[in-house]
Structure 1
Amino acid sequence: MIEAELARAVSLRESGALHEARDLLLRLSQTAPDDPRVAYQAAWAHDRLGLEAEAVPFYVRALDGDGLSPVERRGALLGLGSTYRTLGRYTEAADVLSRGVTEFPDDRAMAVFLAMARYNTGDAKSAVAGLLTMLAETSSDPEIQGYRPAIELYAQDLDRIWSC
C-alpha cells in the first residue's frame, strides 16, 4: 500500500498538484514515519510550496534512515543544504553541502550551492576558489581554457602575489 500511495503522491507533485501531494505525504508520514522515501518526498513537496521550515525535519528524517536511492540521497542532501541556506542557517547549510560534495564529488550543482553557503558563512575565499576550480574544469570557453593553468593556480591561493 505504501508503494502505491507514494507513487501517487509523486505523480501528484509532478503534475503540479502540490497541495494534494503534500496532504497525501503527511498522511503517509503518519503511517510510515520511519520510511526515508516518504520523508524525502514530503520534504520535497514542502519545499516546492515554499514551506522550507516545515521541510527541514522531513529532510533530516530521510537522511537519517537507510533506503534512499543514490539519486534520492543526493536530492535530499542538496535540498536540505539549500533549505538551510534559504532559512539563514548558513553553517548547517555548509556542513550538509560539504557532506554532499564528499559523497557526490562529481555533482556540480552541489558544489555551487556549497560555494554560496561558504560565502554566507564568511568564507568567501573558499567559495571563490571552489567556483574557480569548477569553472576551469568544466568550461569549454577557449579563453577560459587558455588561462586554465593560471586559474587553477590562483584557485589554490587567491592571495598569492608574484614577485619578480
Structure 2
Amino acid sequence: INLPVEAELGKVGGKEDDGPAVEGENPYTDPDQAEEFVARTNCTSLAVGVGTAHGVYHGTPHIEQGVLKAIRQRLDIPLVLHGTSGVPDDQVAEAIQNGICKVNYATELRQVFTAAFMKYMSENPGNFDPKKPSVPGMEAITQIVASHMDNLGSSHKA
C-alpha cells in the first residue's frame, strides 16, 4: 500500500498535553530518535516538537530552530509544524527555511470562523440555516490563510 502517513514525534504540547512542556520532560524531538523512528515506520512526513503547542498560547511561543536544523540534517522527508496558531510569522518563515514543509493553523482558523459565524447569528437571530453564517466564517478563514501565505512567501506557488 502506498499511502502518505504523517506521524508526530516529540512533545507538541497544548490543551490535551498540559502545555508546550511538561515539567521534567524534554519537549523537543530528539534528532537521533527521529531518524530511527522514520527508518522503522517509513512515515512520509513528520511533525516535530520544536517549541510549539496545540491550542491557545499564554505568551509568545518560541520555535527552537537549532533542534529543527538538527532534525533536517538527519531526515529527507517533509517536516511538519503543529501548533502554529499564534506563532509569529517571522519564526514560521525561519522554520520553513530550516526544513518545515507544512504548517497547521487549526486553532486560529477555528477562532476566526467561530467569531464570524457568531457575529452573523447575533445580527440575524431568526436565522436557522447553518449555511448562511458559514459563508462569513469561510471568508474569514480565507483572509487569514491568504495573509499567512503572503507573509510566508507561498502565495501563487501551487
| TM-score in terms of structure 2 length | 0.31
- By percentage of residues, which structure has more helix? 1
- Structure with the greater relative contact order (CA < 8 A, sep ≥ 6): 1 or 2? 2
Bigger Rg, which one: 1
